[in-house]
Structure 1
Amino acid sequence: MNHDFNIPVLYRDEFILVVNKPVDLPVHKNDFMPHDAPYLTKLAGDLTGQWIYNVHRLDSKTSGVIVLALSKEMAHHLTLQFERKEVRKKYLAIVQANPGEGTFDQKVLVKKKTKFKKPAVTHFKTLQSVLTGISHKETENVVLSLVEIQPETGRWHQLRQHFAKNRFDMLGDTHHGDFKLNKIITEKTGLKRLFLHASELEFMHPQTHQELSFSAPIPEEFNELLNFFGR
């Protein structure tokens, strides 16, 4: 287990902390982790010497911008903004095929091992596509696309579920995705991660009421993958 996570701080004041969460780092502790395993709220607590309150979630396999609160009151105000859909979120992902531009609005599962579904809305547009030369299933030359995604709702694995349902499986998704293609691409490129990154976050500062906007640069692995096939 790699304990050397570098947590880039994008913003910090006495009320909130905004960081660029590394890939494969859980946000908070869960029952399945070894007792000494690192997680974001613990590392952020070590960094600030303060108690950290979680406000929204990013899966451990997703990297990118996340806001944390430094008091219960700030956490409450921020959580309300997320619940009222007042927060603007943008993601980048690499997916199979070319989804073009549009909106997915099928209901998605609310969590693992349940059949219960809730409404979900995901807007997307394709920024770049590359041909891989890989033959897979019925496709002779698999296309991979870099897409920008703006979710309106925040359901469990919403983005992964929506893209998988529409046959634009997210690369590196070991839960809903195309396991065989993931394996082929890792063997070819040596890159292995979920290609999903929270690139932008806009919300209102719960204390100053100022509109804040943060972005985390596209991860190196995304560029490496696109360059590998796009050369």
Structure 2
Amino acid sequence: MAGDVNAAIEGALLAGADEIVVNDAHGTMRNLCIEDIHPAARLISGYPKPQMMMCGLDGSFDAAVFVGYHSRSGTGGVLAHTISGGVFFNVSYNGKPAGEFAINAALAGAYGVPVILVSGDDCLQEEVKEWNPAIGYVTTKNAINRSCANCLHPETVTRSIKETTERMVKCCREIPPVKLEEVDVEITYKFPGFALAAASIPGVEMMDPITSRFHAAGPVEAVDLLMAVSNASNVYSNGLY
């Protein structure tokens, strides 16, 4: 992963970027070692943190690059899940299925920041096209199933990430952000009872034992509530048997 991240950094530098922030955003969010990251970048590491996968982002940035992403829960992509693999079966934004790419791209869009490049498997590429076909994409592998992939060689991948990042940074002002104003969020859970746990959060309504919904004023608030729901459900899941 450090190699892919550094390839994106190098591409951005070649295009003239003068400030680069890397946010470690998977699992414990302590996967990347600062010693392995290009010295031109800063690294945000650790969990929990504000805005989670988009920590550090604000309107001062010109663009966002998503490296090493996966498709949403319920698809055939490698490691397919949405936020919490043991809790969420499906998340929808305004009636449209939304994985981590869409959720985070919408949050970036709330600040007027476009996502200009995503890397991941072929299943995720289809999701990206559905939300914004102008975004550049680097396919790193083809999914065979959730735990098996036909992978490209790392040198091929890093070269493609570097070249595509450089090209997309140069035209970043031409890429529209994913813009959502208000967001109606609906969550389907993997187990009964999670919706009951989530209903303890103000504004979250239990529809049935495996479904919740809430209304958010925008993508930033939506992410805050999604994380609160995820945390409440994970606490509940500790008592499952």
TM-score, reference length from structure 1: 0.28
Question: Higher strand fraction: Structure 1 or Structure 2?
Answer: 1
Question: Higher helix fraction: Structure 1 or Structure 2?
Answer: 2
